[in-house]
Each structure stands twice: as C-alpha cells, then as structure tokens.
Amino acid sequence: MTQVKRAFKYRFYPTGEQAAELSRTFGCVRKVYNLALAARTEAWARQERVNYNQTSAMLTAWKKTEELAFLNDVSSVPLQQCLRHLQTAFTHFFAKRAKYPRFKSRKKSRKSAEYTTSGFRFRDGRLTLAKMTEPLDIVFSRPLPERASPSTVTVSQDAAGRWFVSLLCEDPSVKPLSANGNAVGIDVGLHHLLTLSTGEKITNPRHERRDRARLALAQRRLAKKAEGDGANRRKARQKVAKIYARIADRRRDGLHKLTTRLVRENQTLVIEDLTVRNMVKNHTLARAISDASWSEFRSMLEYKAAWYGREVIAVDRFFPSSRLCCHCGTLQDRMPLNVRTWTCDCGTTHDRDVNAAKNLLAAGLAVSACGAGVRPQRSTPGGQSATKQEALQREP
C-alpha cells in the first residue's frame, strides 16, 4: 500500500539575516510568477501556448538582464517551483476546474516559497535552506514520523507576521482503520454546528462572534491611520491580522478534533452537498455561514476518510431532508426555519435537525447500496419544496 504523504506545519523564528533572505525570496517568487503569467497571457492573446519548459527558458534569460539580475541573489529552486505552480494553474484552467490565473499582489498575496530536496538540507531534525548558513529555529510542537525525510519544504509568513515551515513527509502511521459498520448522518447548521442522526448536537462555537468587539475596535483604529506604508498603519494592520489569525486557528483546531473523532467512530458518513459559495451571497447570513466554515469541515472529513478507509457520501442539496418524516415518509408542504419541532400526520414528533440527519443517513445508505442518485421531490400537491439554502435565506 502506498504510504500517505502529510504536511507537518511548525512555527519558526528566523534571525534578522534569515528573515531578510526569505523576504527577498518571496519577492522574487512573486516577480517571476507575474512575469511568466504576463508572457503566457500575451501568448494566449496571440492564440499561442506557452508551457513550463518555455517559461523556464525565459527565467534563464531574465537572470542575464541587468534589470532582473537580482533574481540570481536567491535560490533558484523556489523560482522554478513557482513556474510549476503556474503550469498547474493553467492545467486546471484548461480543464475548466478553475478560473484564469491571477497576478500576485505585494500586499494581498500569500508570502511563500517552496523548496525541493535540492534546495534544503535536513539532518538530525535541523533544517537548513539554500543560501543560508544556519539552520532554522523551528519549534517542533509535534514529532515528525520516525526517520522522516521531507520531500518538499514550504516556508511562509502570514499577515500577522508569523513564520511557518511545512515539511511534506511520508507518514507510515496513517493506515486504514478496522471496519466497524457504524454509519451516521450529519446535518450542518448555524445554531448547532452539527446534528447527528444519533441525536447528538454539537454547539456552534461561533469563534468570530467571540472576538467581534475586539476585532471591530482594531479595525476602527486601523481606519483612522493615514494611508500609505507608515509604521503606525503597519502596526495597526498587524493587530487586525493577529485577531483574524486567532479566530482561524481556533476554528481550524476545533474542526480537526471534530472530524478526526467522526472518522474514527464511523465507517460511513453522510453529509449534504451544499453550495456554500452561493449561500454566502446572502449578506444577512454570510458572516455566520463563513464562521461556521462548512466547506472546510467537508474538506477535512473527505481527506481523513480517504486516509483511514472510510466512506463519505454527499446527498443532493435539493433532497427535502427537513420536511420528510423519517418514520412514515410523508413530505410536508412547507417548513419555515423558525419551526424547530413538528408533528407528522402519523403522530411522530420530530426535532427538525435530528429528523434531517436521519433522512440524510437513509438516503446516503440507499446511494451506497444501489448507486442511485438522490434527487428531490421538486413539488408537492400543496406547494413547492424548499431547500436548506432557501430556508437559511429566510432566517431572521
């Protein structure tokens, strides 16, 4: 069995010389990426194709010019890697999986540089990058796999000024778990982040709301600073970034713990195939939906299930899980969002979210058993069906 490659991300604290070298590298990576994108865009306008090999040859020519001679001052490995990333972006574009690549901004784009094995040395837990004489001061918050040998190292700096290094290694500890036969339906929401078909409800921690007052104060102070690259504005902007980073770190940590638990406990996990991108267009709920981070939850659930030999089934977003009685199958005409419990004609009283999770589980198991698609009953004699997206848009 092929071993899984995992990225182990750690904070590190560079010296002044290392920070300056990495900052130069970030700038050169951005410059080369933008030059190559401009060259490929011009060729695209002439109905010509430019591939990775041609941009690599361009990079060699750029280094020989007086204007771009500074590209020789940094390691060539991250510059070649950014050309490979651009090639991947165009591959996704031509396959209609992504939009046309965009230019990298000095202020808004992620600062990162990727090194392959020829661009770093890793010995005895000490990492030294090309063009540097001293190893990075890395804080190993968790151990690497035994006898780990990184194939790729990515160095980055976030908006809050924190430095990170990501080591891509094969992890022999990631193996399929023994099958347990458990299956669970998962209904996502805003009041409760998750409701399981077992009846368990997981409260939405609302990380952004907890820091909203502090964030608003920091943003007001930033808005009062003079425009430009002054020191005061830079400090104020970094304070805002630190609050955002704190929110994102807590949210990511909670989702990792939650998804790991669900994957370990269940063989089959059934979720609803929601289009979060369209749902956040509702400005009334966009902040709450983004804070819940349903997309990140699904992404984590899917790749961890693949690691550990579990199955994730996504039920069609139009499936009327909330309005369908899980006991007798009766479909209700309407189900406003303020109705949290309801009684079916068969006499069964339902909790809205638990009932939805049970229906999702039943539909997902049907898909797994016969391979049929799960499509909605688009209309009933009493009126049109309402999807979860439509119901959320009516939330007060």
Which residues are known to be catalytic? 187, 272, 353
- Exposed e or buried b for every residue in 184-209, given b needs 16+ CB within 10 A? bbbbbbbebbbbbbeeebbebebbbe
Q: What is the DSSP string of 236-253?
A: HHHHHHHHHHHHHHHHHH
* Cα(316)–Cα(45) distance, integer angstroms: 40
**E strand segments, the chain:** 4-12, 111-116, 120-123, 126-129, 138-139, 152-157, 163-171, 183-188, 192-196, 201-203, 268-272, 311-315, 341-343, 349-351, 379-380, 383-384
Contact between 271 and 298 under an 8 Å Cβ cutoff? The reply is yes
| Among the listed residues 299, 305, 306, the one whose alpha carbon sits nearest the alpha carbon of residue 264 | 305
- Write out the two tokens for 228: 């430009």
* Residue 27 amino acid letter: G
